[in-house]
Chain A
Amino acid sequence: EAGVTQSPTHLIKTRGQQATLRCSPISGHTSVYWYQQALGLGLQFLLWYDEGEERNRGNFPPRFSGRQFPNYSSELNVNALELEDSALYLCASSLTVYGPQETQYFGPGTRLLVL
C-alpha cells in the first residue's frame, strides 16, 4: 500500500513569490495535516483538513493557506514568501482524528528554499 506522497521534493523560490506544495494521503485516509520543520526547530502544526474543510489552524499568518480536494489530496499555498519560510514541509494523513485511528503517517516532505 502506498504511503503519503508529496511533490515536489525540492522547491526553490525567491522572496515575494508564491509556493504550492502538494500531498496525497494514504488510500482511505480522509484527514490531511501540514507541518513546518525549520532547521534546528521542532515540527510546528500548520493546518488540518478533513472532508474538504479546514478544521484547525496553527499559529501561522494568513499567507499560509491550503485546500483539500474531493479525492482527499491537499495543497498548501504560501504567498509572499519570506526567507524564514525556508523549511521542510511535511504532510501527514490519518483515517480519522478520533480514537486509535488518529495516528498520523507522514510523507517524505517538500524542502522549500527561499532566496
Chain B
Amino acid sequence: RKEVEQDPGPFNVPEGATVAFNCTYSNSASQSFFWYRQDCRKEPKLLMSVYSSGNEDGRFTAQLNRASQYISLLIRDSKLSDSATYLCVVNSEGSTLGRLYFGRGTQLTVWP
C-alpha cells in the first residue's frame, strides 16, 4: 500500500465552483501534513500546512482526521489561477524522519 494516496482526478470545474480533494495516509505515526501545489513543469510550492484538526487560509480549508488517517483540501470560489496539481504530503518521525511522502497529485483545471 502506498504511503499517501490521492484521487488523481482530473477535476474540471468552472470559475466560482467549490472543489474538494481527499487524501489518505497509511502511517498512523505521521506527524505533519501539508498541501503543496505544483504547476506544470515547475517545483512544488507550499499551499498550506495542516498541524491540528484543520485550518483555513482565505478560500482554502484543510481538514485532518487522525483517526481515519484522512486529509482534505477544500477550495471555494475557484479561480483560473487555481489550475494546478495539488499534492498531499505527509511527514513522519522515527526511522523515516526528514522524509516527505508525496501523493501522486490531483489535477485541477478551472475553466472560465
Binding site for B on A (CB under 8 A): 31, 33, 35, 41-45, 48, 50, 55-56, 58, 90, 92, 97, 100, 102-109
Contact = CB atoms under 8 A, between A and B. Distances in A.
Interface of B: 32, 34, 42-46, 49, 51, 87, 91, 95-105
A56 B97 contact: yes
A108 B44 CA distance: 8
A56 B104 contact: no
* 8 closest Cβ pairs, A-B complex: A48-B98, A106-B43, A43-B102, A42-B104, A45-B99, A97-B98, A42-B102, A56-B98
A105 B43 CA distance: 9
A102 B91 contact: yes
B99 A56 contact: yes
Contacts, number: 52
26 contacts: A33-B98, A41-B104, A42-B103, A42-B105, A43-B87, A43-B102, A44-B102, A45-B99, A45-B101, A50-B98, A55-B97, A56-B96, A58-B99, A90-B43, A90-B44, A100-B49, A100-B51, A102-B32, A102-B91, A103-B34, A103-B49, A104-B46, A106-B43, A106-B44, A107-B43, A108-B43
Contacts of A44: 102
A71 to B, nearest CB: 20
Contacts of B51: 100
A35 B49 CA distance: 20
Contacts of A58: 99
Given A102-B91, A103-B49, A43 B98 contact: no
Nearest to B45: A106
B92 to A, nearest CB: 10
Contacts of B42: 108
Contacts of A108: 42-43
B20 to A, nearest CB: 20
